[in-house]
Chains A and B, each alone.
Chain A
Amino acid sequence: MSNSKKQYWKGLEQLSNDPGFVEYANKEFPEYLPINENKEGAESAPSSRRDFLKMMGFSVAAASLAACEAPVRKAIPYLNKPEEIDPGIPNYYASTYAQGGDYCSIVIKTREGRPIKVEGNKLSKVTYGGVSAQVEASVLSLYDQERLRGPYAAGAATDWATLDQEVISKLSASQNIRIVSNTVMSPTTYKVGAEFMAKFPNAKPVTYDAQSAHGILQANQLSFGKATIPAYDFSKAEVIVSLAADFLGTWIAPTVYAHQYAKRRKLGGGKKSMSRHYQFESNLSLTGSNADYRTPVKPSQQGLIAAALYNKVAAKAGAASMNVSSIDVPFLDKAANSLWEARGKSLVVSGSNDTNVQVAVNAINDLLGNYGSTVDLDRPVNFRKGNDADMSEFIEEVSSGRVDAVIFYNCNPIYDHPQGVLLQAELEKVGLKISTSGRMDETATLCDYVAPDHHYLESWNDAEPQQGQYSLCQPGITPLFDTRQAQSSALVWCGASETDYFNFLQNNWRTSFFPNSGAPDFETFWHQSLFDGVVEMNTPSKELGEAPEIAADSTDIAPAAVMAGGFSADLSAVARALGAGYNAESAETELVIYQKVGLGTGEQANNPWLQELPDPISKAVWDNYLTVSQKFARENGLKIEEDRTSRVNLTVGGQTVNVPVMIQPGQAHGTVGLALGYGRAKAGRVANNIGVNAFPLVTVTGGIPHYEATSGVSIEVTKEKHRIARTQTHETYMGRETIIQEALLSEYQENEHAGEFAPKIATWKGPEEKVAPHKISLWKHHQDEYVNHHWGMAIDLNSCTGCAACTIACQVENNIPVVGKDEILTRREMHWIRIDRYYSSVGVNNYSELEVASENPEVTFQPMMCQHCNNAPCETVCPVAATTHSTEGLNQMAYNRCIGTRYCANNCPFKVRRFNWFKYHDNTQFAENTSMSNTLGRMVLNPDVTVRSRGVMEKCTMCVQRIQAGKLVAKKEKRRPTDGDIDTACATACPTQAITFGDLNDTDSQISKLLKIEHHDDHKTVQEPRAYTVLQELNVDPNVFYLRKIRNKEVDNA
């Protein structure tokens, strides 16, 4: 984009003109052409002519034999067809995804009684219909072959009766029983726990979370007397300051926060204001890449930054300042000024697990008067309830042999607790170890008994994600295996009169919630709640309503007298602690342990969809790696050429791991980052031995895990090489800058067309006589043919956070295979929708200048899929007319017609067409493609979409199966489809509603209004000033429109 003097680049290779990159960039196809399996081997002699003839002869004979007799196919109807199931028609059930502390209200789409897709529940007042990549992918975990198929005792299969009998007798003989779990949000499960503990008074619950939020809980205990996580409302915040909290990607409830965040940042329809977002962090996180101002800082500075921010705000507010050493980092003053200007409508959050930092953050929010507006303590959320002090105490008790029995309720501390290694060594001291894990994970393998729980899609349950907001979880399928709901197991073991959890749940709802609901009778209340999936009541449940006391054991802050609702904490103690614990100028290398958007803490690691989901920032798949700054790489002679990188030995506090290196722009100098969730030993075939486990590197001080190591980190470069598979620099746009358009908010407020790029094309009349590209065309445009529907899509780059939920949603909906790391290395990924991540540097004109800015680039995400061009270049080059244009504006792809010349992919300017190099289904060589390679996994496939075979091209169809289904429903009801009847998988999944799909012919549709479509005699024009199409100069006339990205920055910093 020459008018804004910005250069966009997709990776360091492009920047440094890496030879490997240049070589690929100049090729039309980046893939290796030979498809011989042993392409690496030198001996692979080409097939001889004789072999060819032999093969030909055989194929002809085989084909004619095969053609002689069609196989007999069976049609097997139900014996007794359930009334609500009609084969061929999907049923939808509202339910709840609650794994650990992650929550999402969902709708399960089932076909013939099996869940095939998870979508967001738009009725939820917590998640507002959004989903994350993990929630979308969870449906495949249901069909994981490595789920346990029945109970186990001492590593051997057993039956429930035997297990129950032995467990009950052993439990009765035990003195000290501990029930270890992650955050439990279900009030009825608490009630089950209470019954259990009534029977076994020596039982005690221990809760921890793989991603701990203990610091926040403790800070709120100290500040307000309530160990809760308040409900943040990013939609009310005009200024957001985040101290390393990745609230759009992985911090506490990203789906919820992303929805709120985008709501404030959407423009158009008269709204010309948006929030301003400052981020101070070490790793380039998803949140940081969306920030308006981002400052790379070291973890050792975090505490001082929080204090400095407090002091700056306090100076304006006239409050006492904290006595700490000063620190100066870019944009800190600016952030303080912005916050003060927007006091009462601003929000400061921190991702630190240090109570002192969180107390300081509370103090800032208190000074700014944010409590009651953007931070709601009265209706706190229950997303994280883990008490690390309890957990540390538990591990100590285990070590000293004071625990007789332990039940691990759906948790895996051996893997995902920082002291897991210690626990593993000491666990044999516990007499009775029971796990309810659905798979033989690291913890379950060490247990005497495994009483596998149902998958959540097979379970009944409830949840209270936020006080007063309830939701029900109902099964979408009969349990596949001989598993039993963990709550039922507990009820059986404690000898309860009601052991069926469904009845127990219903009874609890009858007695606890129905009286407050105002419904006429219980049946109505129950059915309505089940139908909606969510209920809002003003009364918190007894079980989760009262926050447990958290002892302030790791800090010397004396809890001040708690005033009613007011902030009170001993800030001078906080200042002392921050001054002692943090350092403005540390020379040490520091490690930040973070989570990736796809895998999180690794609970669903055996899900190949998540393993193959490109990380939004690094675009790497199937790996974790040490992210290092460019400066560090230069100093240590590290290079990453295409995908070849070095491995290093990372030593933290005496523990050493061998990891590959990834050079990451935006990484704070002097820091390195490593992702959690990898290095599983017992997750299953897909995940085992991929990457390294970062949990043991988490520093535990005073029993509290800190995800930063500020000292004792050393890195030793080894000679070992490693290949990281990335989708990053594939299929580059070669510096065509008409793809991303952006403007500053102030420019936009003045002129809505700010940042517009309107290319002109030279004509035969000479260089002066340039015209707009759409004025000249070889093609007769299709638009006048669209009499019925004209499908289109608008993507708001201002709302897209790059969270990749759409990528997984598309993969589930359209039966897209997983190809594995090796194939990605040869650049054969299959995702139909990819999220392009562009780094940009400001005010530079050549590559060498760019390099300076690349230490902290601006980031833009752009979802890219088939643009459904009206003048589609792919259609004209297909020799067999396998890709054609429909009368509804779609670019269609007929797989059975395709002969695989790949001319279309060659001619596509967006590089969105995907070629099936292999038969990915039913193929042992693609065993990781579990949704197609085994019969159980295949149950997840969408029966309305063809599973493509080898040798054909495929691409985004704009979910034509959904379009056809929606049209049919309308026709059957003798009406036109209304807006919202038909939506693509990506648009449905988007937590920020960045993607809008609809009929451009329908004047009432949301997309028509968004794009301000104007109808003329034979064509339509888009009047929305922010709307543009990519590569306009080619006049391919796409049906996918992008809305320009607006940054809330000031001009002098641009």
Chain B
Amino acid sequence: MAYYICGSLKDLSASMIKSKNFMFATQRSAYLSIITFVFSFFILTSAWAQSDTTDVESTDQPTTEAATSQGGISSDPAVITAGEALFQGNCRACHAVNQKLVGPALAGIYDRQDMDWIKAFVKNSQAMIASGDEYSVALYEEYNNTMMTSFNFSDEEIESIIAYVKFEAENAAAAAETPEGVPEDGTTTTATGPSKYLTAVIVGLVVVLLLILIVLFLILGFLTKFLKERKDDLDEADREMIDQKFDFGKLTRNPAFIGIVAFIFGIFVVKAVLDGLYQVGIQQGYAPKQPIAFSHKLHAGQYEIDCNYCHTGVRKSKSANIPSANICMNCHGQIKTESPEIQKIYAAIEENTPIEWVRVHNLPDLAYFNHAQHVAVGNQECESCHGEIKEMEVVEQFAPLTMGWCINCHKETNINTKGNAYYDNLVELHSQHSKEPLKVEDLGGLECAKCHY
């Protein structure tokens, strides 16, 4: 920085040797720079350290006391987990535990009715209403004559759902009593990781460096002024230097300068062209208008409908499946029937013409991708590839879907080996010669024929 102000590069070496004072000045600026870097390094490391500690905290799950068994409803955590899965997959679209949605809040259902009634109602509510059961008829009328879909659950499955409902209801009640207000999911959520700090650090660094630049200019001006005042004590060469004016005209005629500028410009052009070429066929951010203005923000975000509920293939098939119209009708047979967007679904069903959605994620045919492998086996979240789908009014392509992006993930991701006998022996073999966890690439995740055949 300091060098640059001295004038053209040509004079640099000579003046450096000759001028003691100048050397002094440069030395000082060097000191300053060192201090700056030490300072910035300090800020940086502290930021990282902080993010580390929060990460550790976030993984620390508070333990919940087992609820006491009451009225034959299990408090076995395994049953509750099973119930939760069933609830999330099947009930959540219309019911919440503590809140009225399409259907009633389920908390306390076990007190309101006995288990046999619940089972009968879940299995065939229509028959219950038809049979004239008082409570069923009352429910039916209360909820705008909306019929609940019949579910072909086993008795154990219904019991597990109720166990989960009870667990959740009691948990929520307990949470309301605790003054600190432990969040419902029992984790301390942290604002997104280190990236936020990194931005702060960079901004800080830039500010500090700008300040240093200003200080250096001030010092330079001060020194020059000081030397000018004592011009007579200086020898010829130094005097010349102090009197020197910056000559732009000379600079533009300097072939070395022109060369460097041309070179840098050339690099930028090449880079831009290459970047442009790399973007060919990449549709990151592609958010086409769909024939029906379906909002994931509303369904997945606000109503928290599980992805599996509509995308039925995601855990079993290569394709996650765009839901067929009959899945929409599970709810929209009754809800928002007047909406012009919903009317489009009715029209499609009546005219027997399928809805032509615009495909957002287009992998080339030569690449084989299987949702089940990633979601059911690999336990990946939908959001890791599809982004914050719960915030999207219109779905857009979040990931670049390039091979580099796939490969990167395969290099970094640990295999979900827990409780999967497929991997048991492989984990053991791997641990014999590596301390790292088993990654996708360790099992051939980077090989061509894993995706191309």
Contact = CB atoms under 8 A, between A and B. Distances in A.
Contacts of A895: 366, 452
A669 to B, nearest CB: 50
A656 to B, nearest CB: 52
A736 B329 CA distance: 69
A283 to B, nearest CB: 41
Interface stretch (A67-75, A707-715, A752-760): A67-75
A970 interface: yes
Nearest to B322: A77
Contact of B281 (A70, A86, A967): A70
Contact of B370 (A78, A87, A896, A968): A968
B280 to A, nearest CB: 4
Contact of A968 (B357, B373, B420): B373
B283 interface: yes
Contact of A70 (B321, B362, B370, B444): B362
Contact of B316 (A75, A882, A946, A972): A972
Interface centre among B316, B327, B422, B443 (most CB of A within 10 A): B422
Contact of B324 (A81, A893, A945): A81
Nearest to B420: A974
Contacts of A75: 322, 356-359
Contacts of A897: 448, 452
A180 to B, nearest CB: 41
Interface stretch (A93-101, A350-358, A956-964): A956-964
Contacts of A946: 365-366, 452-453
Interface centre among B319, B355, B368, B444 (most CB of A within 10 A): B444
Given A86-B313, A974-B420, A886 B447 contact: yes
Interface in B413-453: 419-422, 426, 429, 443-444, 447-450, 452-453
Given A86-B321, A975-B421, A968 B372 contact: yes
A718 interface: no
Contacts of A529: none
Contact of A80 (B325, B356, B452): B325
Contact of A72 (B288, B324, B453): B288
Interface residues of B, number: 52
B352 interface: yes
Contact of B422 (A86, A893, A976): A976
Contact of B348 (A79, A87, A945): A79
Nearest to B376: A972
Interface in A77-135: 77-81, 86-89
B418 to A, nearest CB: 10
B319 A79 contact: no
A788 interface: yes
Nearest to B416: A971
Interface in B305-344: 312-313, 316-319, 321-327
A411 B153 CA distance: 51
A257 B314 CA distance: 45
Contacts of A894: 448-449, 452
A651 interface: no
A399 interface: no
A481 B319 CA distance: 29
A960 B443 CA distance: 15
Contact of A77 (B354, B364, B377, B450): B354
Interface centre among B286, B318, B357 (most CB of A within 10 A): B318
B120 interface: no
A976 to B, nearest CB: 6
Interface centre among A77, A884, A968 (most CB of B within 10 A): A77
Nearest to A87: B319
Interface string A948-992: 000000000100110010011011101111000000000000000
Given A67-B281, A946-B453, A974-B421, A72 B358 contact: yes
Contacts of B448: 882, 884, 886, 892-894, 897
B169 to A, nearest CB: 32
Given A80-B324, A968-B370, A892 B358 contact: no
A74 B324 contact: no
Interface string B191-204: 00000000000000
B420 A971 contact: yes
B241 interface: no
B349 interface: yes
Interface string A865-890: 00000000000000000101011101
Contact of A961 (B319, B325, B453): B453
B404 to A, nearest CB: 14
Nearest to A72: B358
A945 to B, nearest CB: 6
A787 interface: yes
A249 B317 CA distance: 40
B95 to A, nearest CB: 23
B426 A89 contact: no
B344 to A, nearest CB: 13
B392 to A, nearest CB: 17
Nearest to B280: A67
B447 A971 contact: no
A701 B349 CA distance: 64
A974 B419 contact: yes
B449 A88 contact: no
B381 to A, nearest CB: 18
Contacts of A88: 313, 317-319, 321, 370
A720 interface: no
B323 A77 contact: yes
Interface in B232-277: none
A76 interface: yes
A896 B366 contact: yes
A378 interface: no
Contact of A79 (B321, B352, B421): B352
Contact of B449 (A81, A886, A947): A886
A888 B316 contact: no
Contact of A960 (B313, B358, B362, B453): B453
A1018 interface: no
Nearest to A67: B280
B317 A86 contact: yes
A800 to B, nearest CB: 26
A971 B444 CA distance: 15
A964 B358 CA distance: 29
Nearest to B352: A79
A453 to B, nearest CB: 27
B453 A945 contact: yes
A884 B446 CA distance: 11
A788 B316 contact: no
Contacts of B281: 67, 70
Contacts of B325: 77-80
A681 B326 CA distance: 49
B14 to A, nearest CB: 52
Contact of B444 (A67, A888, A972): A888
A495 B401 CA distance: 62
Interface in A924-952: 944-947
B449 A890 contact: yes
A529 to B, nearest CB: 25
Contacts of B453: 892, 944-946, 957, 960-961, 964
A79 B328 CA distance: 10
B421 A976 contact: yes
Given A892-B447, A895-B366, A76 B420 contact: no
Contacts of A886: 444, 447-450
Contacts of A975: 421-422
18 contacts: A75-B358, A75-B359, A76-B356, A77-B325, A78-B325, A79-B325, A79-B349, A80-B349, A81-B326, A88-B370, A787-B429, A882-B448, A896-B364, A896-B452, A957-B449, A964-B450, A968-B372, A972-B372
Given A87-B319, A967-B422, A971-B420, 6 more contacts: A70-B283, A72-B288, A80-B325, A88-B370, A886-B447, A892-B447
User: Which A-B residue pairs are the 6 nearest by beta carbons?
Assistant: A88-B317, A892-B449, A81-B324, A894-B448, A78-B324, A88-B318
